[in-house]
Amino acid sequence: EVQLVESGGGLVQPGGSLRLSCAASGFILSNHWMHWVRQTPGKGLVWVSRINHDGSSTTYADSVKGRFTISRDNAKNTLYLQMDSLRAEDTAVYYCARVNSGYNDYWGQGTLVTVSS
Amino acid sequence: EVVMTQSPATLSVSPGERATLSCRASQSVSTNLAWYQQKPGQAPRLLIYGASTRATGIPARFSGSGSGTEFTLTISSLQSEDFAVYYCHQYNNWPPLTFGGGTKVEIK
């Protein structure tokens, strides 16, 4: 059974940092690109970042470029999102999602990040 | 950026009735269009990919159609478990990948 489990969310002050993790099981992580997608409470879905199979290629939404870093450790079956210089508008539930031919076929349950003083 | 516009924002339907949800893209996305269902407190669940292919385990009452800029998700006979928010998602032109704003299907 494919499972994605995010962790690392929490309350952080503006300007602070957090590192999210996404533990993958039930499939071979190195066979798939991965995405991070966020959802502001009560609002829609916004794509944040993607990473290719081996981590050699990454892409970011303009709103997080230069502040967030996506990475992966296929040996540990784990995806990461390092978030620096956090702003209030980064407050959201962050989901990791497996990519299958471009669309997201499996999603984690999400982890809540709250940026507030 | 491809803007995805969903309509209506809210759809009130009685159980057993048909629901038709629309999604429009600001430019052609071919058939690289997916639909997701999200219930409160849960992650999105893939329903449809390639505009019309049902994902594994998705009941046949869910169907998708369209290509280019106009897409439709139809739920032929609404069950109680189908009341949720539905999002379309284009994965043809990126970055960025973009999602529609969602359609909430509620009990009439």
What confidence score (pLDDT) does residue A9 get?
A: 97
Alpha carbon distance B45, B63 (integer Å): 15
Residue B108 has pLDDT above 90, yes or no: no
The total of other beta-carbon atoms located within 10 Å of residue B58's CB is: 16
Residue B67 has pLDDT above 80, yes or no: yes
- Which residues in chain A land under pLDDT 70? none
Alpha carbon distance B1, B29 (integer Å): 11
Calculate mean pLDDT across residues B94-107.
95
Sort out which chain B residues have CB atoms less than 8 A from A45's CB and list them. Answer: 36, 44, 87, 89, 99, 102
What is the per-residue pLDDT across A62-94, written as a single tens digit (0 to 9) for each?
A: 999 999 999 999 999 999 999 999 999 999 999
Nearest CA in chain B to A98: B46
What confidence score (pLDDT) does residue A18 get?
A: 98
What is the per-residue pLDDT across B24-52, written as a single tens digit (0 to 9) for each?
A: 999 999 999 999 999 999 999 999 999 99
- If we measure between CA atoms, which residue out of B40, B9, B25, B20 comes closest to residue B97? B25
Alpha carbon distance A103, A8 (integer Å): 25
**Is A5 within 8 Å of chain B by CB?**
no
Alpha carbon distance A101, A105 (integer Å): 9
What confidence score (pLDDT) does residue A77 get?
A: 96
Structure confidence at residue B103 as a pLDDT band (50, 70, 90): very high
Alpha carbon distance B5, A111 (integer Å): 27
**Is B87 within 8 Å of chain A by CB?**
yes
Q: Across chain A, what does the average pLDDT equal?
A: 96
* Pairwise CB contact (< 8 Å): B46 & A104: yes
